[in-house]
Amino acid sequence: MTAIIRETQPIEGQKPGTSGLRKKTPVFMQPGYLENFVQAIFNAIGGARGKTFVLGGDGRYFNDRAAQVILKIASANGAARVIVGQGAILSTPAASHLIRLHQTDGGIILSASHNPGGAEEDFGVKFNTPNGGPAPESVTQAIYDETTCLREYAICDTDDLDLTRIGETRIGDMVVQVVDPVADYAALMEKLFDFDKLRALFSGGFRMRFDAMNAVTGPYATEILERRLGAAPGTVVHGTPLPDFGGMHPDPNPVWAKALMDEMFGPDAPDFGAASDGDGDRNMVVGRGIYVSPSDSLAVLAANAHLAPGYQGGLKGVARSMPTSAAVDRVANALGLPCYETPTGWKFFGNLLDDARVTLCGEESFGTGSDHVREKDGLWAVLLWLNILAERKESVEQILSEHWREHGRNYYSRHDYEALPVADAERVMGALRDRLAALPATEVQGMTVASADDFSYMDPVDGSVSKGQGLRVVFTDGSRLVLRLSGTGTEGATLRLYVERYVPGPEGLADDVQSALAPVIAAAEDLSEIRAITGRNAPDVIT
Ligand code: G1P
Ligand code: ZN
């Protein structure tokens, strides 16, 4: 085995977005593309010599080959050890846990999350730091800077390793430790939740459906829900991770997890339904005949987390991304907890979690998590819901209705306009940005603007500032609209419009969501002219 130095050229566009570098798979498979990016990661963190990393991915097309390349580059760069999930598989939260458990120097996760997988679909590579969380902007910027001046990378010229067998092998001096991808994660879940109570719930006839969407959570959900908790066989559907996710779009929302929605709203629906995304960090939760929006889910979890053993002592605080609804703020207020508002992307929660300022965090994009890892965690959210259901002995519908009666309801929706020409999307953003300063005190659709700005965040732990994180217009009645560009897409630009309206109750808590939001949606059109500028009549996806 010899480490060789290969000459290379900087490759344009290797700029990590909201969550790592995501590109079409054929782009990643171009000679040198992956190699350059991985070498840039190692250069940006001061080299790999003597270090230990975690490696795994969501099993999508190219996952296996990419893992082999990364191992060869890690060895040639002098890494001491790489802990790899068997078959190069690890869910994102499981990878985060392993990074922390073994106190490694970070990890590389292969995933494009909820984006479709396959030879012509999406692939992604993300670096997580030693705290187990996605690299902060300072690190992703350093990685990007390296990609712009890279002239060579080091790689071992050796055969591929067998990653299907648990145990240790080597590439040169580097130990490759192949581990069961599920075992440590499942043990962590056993510590946080009352598995006896959950077993009793299932043996008492509680029925559940978990749609793993042919993606990475299948083995985790089958082991935990069916084997350890005794949920009926067949509780987990689409449970085998497939390279193309069986053609599914592994994004757990009402649009892409339609079969689950239909079942939960159909006759003889199970008590509880859930789905997870490509790499297992997202979750959607549905009750019998009732959908739980991710923002509401975060609020309910915050209000009830103390019912699970891992959170018995209560929460230190909560955090949500700016576009996420303020439902959790109301819970924080009622409980006297600090509540933080961060830019979009899990990386902004890392410092708050590390500094023990918050216990729970969440995003409107089907992401919820806690300080047990440094990623959002789909199955964790599902287990916390189950633990709450087991303790309260009420249905999802009852819990949600009671929550709204107590705290009021934040009607909320996100409208996505996908694959727009970049210039059109920027015109929409530019048009609204230009009007922001003049908006306060003006009236739109019968509502008065209280404030309007381009969200800027100062991290309270390290003082770093992130500007341009989304345009927001807040009205005097608490209604709000937010407009931002997606940072995870691989085709054109995606505009996200987030709309919210607060109803204190007791009247009007069970209205149709889109109707309840109609004035805010109309105000968004008036102010940004999305439809006029893009020529689109309607959003592509409404969640
Ligand atoms: C999207 C979500 C964001 C999430 C990210 C990674 O990013 O909106 O909340 O953290 O995916 O899962 P976006 O495409 O909006 O930049
Ligand atoms: Zn994901």
- Identify the helix (H) or strand (E) that includes residue 145: helix 137-147
Measured in Å, residue 352 CA sits from the centre of ligand 1 at 19
Q: pLDDT of 218-246, one tens digit each?
A: 999 999 999 999 999 999 999 999 999 99
- Give the pLDDT band (50/70/90) at residue 468: very high
- Give the pLDDT band (50/70/90) at residue 491: confident
Say which ligand is closest to the CA of 277: 2
Measured in Å, residue 280 CA sits from the centre of ligand 2 at 6
Measured in Å, residue 179 CA sits from the centre of ligand 1 at 29
Q: Pick the closest to residue 508 from 396, 410, 395, 394 (CA basis).
A: 410
Angle at 494 between CA 480 and CA 111, to 5 degrees: 110
- The residues, any chain, with a CB within 8 Å of residue 30's CB and separated by 6 or more, are none
Q: How many Å apart are CA 301 and CA 324, to the nearest integer?
A: 15
CB 483, CB 428: distance < 8 Å: yes
Q: Whose CA is nearest to atom 4 of ligand 1?
A: 345
Q: Token pair of 336, please?
A: 């006297």
In a 3-state reduction of DSSP, which class is residue 400?
helix
| CB of 92 shorter than 6 A to ligand 1 | no
Q: pLDDT of 31-60, one tens digit each?
A: 999 999 999 999 999 999 999 999 999 999
CATH code for 185-407? Answer: 3.40.120.10
Q: Token pair of 515, please?
A: 């109707």
| CB of 486 shorter than 6 A to ligand 1 | yes
Q: Whose CA is nearest to atom 15 of ligand 1?
A: 486
Q: How many Å apart are CA 295 and CA 96, to the nearest integer?
A: 23
Q: What's this model's pTM, rounded to 2 decimal places?
A: 0.95
pLDDT attached to residue 350: 93
Q: How far apart are the first and last CA of the chain?
A: 51
Q: Using the 8-state DSSP alphabet, how is residue 134 labeled?
A: B
| CB of 363 shorter than 6 A to ligand 1 | yes
| CB of 111 shorter than 6 A to ligand 1 | no
CB 318, CB 157: distance < 8 Å: no
Helix axes 183-192, 92-101, angle to 10 degrees: 90
Q: Pick the closest to residue 88 from 57, 53, 52, 54 (CA basis).
A: 57
Ligand 1 atom closest to the Cα of residue 346 is 10
Q: Does the structural domain 409-542 have CATH classification 3.30.310.50?
A: yes
Say which ligand is closest to the CA of 367: 1
Within 320-455, where are the H helices? 327-335, 350-354, 378-392, 396-407, 422-435
Measured in Å, residue 487 CA sits from the centre of ligand 1 at 7
Ligand 1 atom closest to the Cα of residue 17 is 16
Say which ligand is closest to the CA of 109: 2
| CA neighbours closer than 13 Å in the CB half-sphere of residue 383 | 32
CATH code 3.40.120.10 region(s) in the chain: 2-181, 185-407
**pLDDT of 324 strictly over 80:** yes
Q: How many Å apart are CA 395 and CA 379, to the nearest integer?
A: 19
Q: Whose CA is nearest to atom 10 of ligand 1?
A: 345
Across the strands, what pairs with 321? Answer: 342
Q: How many Å apart are CA 300 and CA 328, to the nearest integer?
A: 8
Measured in Å, residue 516 CA sits from the centre of ligand 1 at 25
Task: For tokens 């390290």, name the residue.
Answer: 462
| CB of 365 shorter than 6 A to ligand 1 | yes
Single-letter amino acid code for the residue at 354: D
CB 53, CB 110: distance < 8 Å: no
pLDDT attached to residue 251: 94
CB 483, CB 496: distance < 8 Å: yes
Q: Token pair of 120, please?
A: 């012509």
Q: Token pair of 76, please?
A: 């040639």
CATH code 3.30.310.50 region(s) in the chain: 409-542
| CB of 324 shorter than 6 A to ligand 1 | no
| CB of 541 shorter than 6 A to ligand 1 | no
Measured in Å, residue 377 CA sits from the centre of ligand 2 at 9
**pLDDT of 366 strictly over 90:** yes
| CB of 430 shorter than 6 A to ligand 1 | no
Name the CATH code of domain 2-181 (choices 3.40.120.10, 3.40.50.2000, 3.30.365.10, 3.30.2290.10).
3.40.120.10
Ligand 1 atom closest to the Cα of residue 281 is 12
Q: What Rg, from alpha-carbon coordinates, does the chain have?
A: 23
Q: Token pair of 18, please?
A: 């909201």
Q: pLDDT of 102-133, one tens digit each?
A: 999 999 999 999 999 999 999 999 999 999 99
| CB of 283 shorter than 6 A to ligand 1 | no
Q: Token pair of 478, please?
A: 């608490």
259 exposed, middle or buried (CB, 10 Å; 0-12, 13-18, 19+)? Answer: middle
Q: How many Å apart are CA 336 and CA 349, to the nearest integer?
A: 20
List, by residue number, the catalytic residues.
Answer: 113
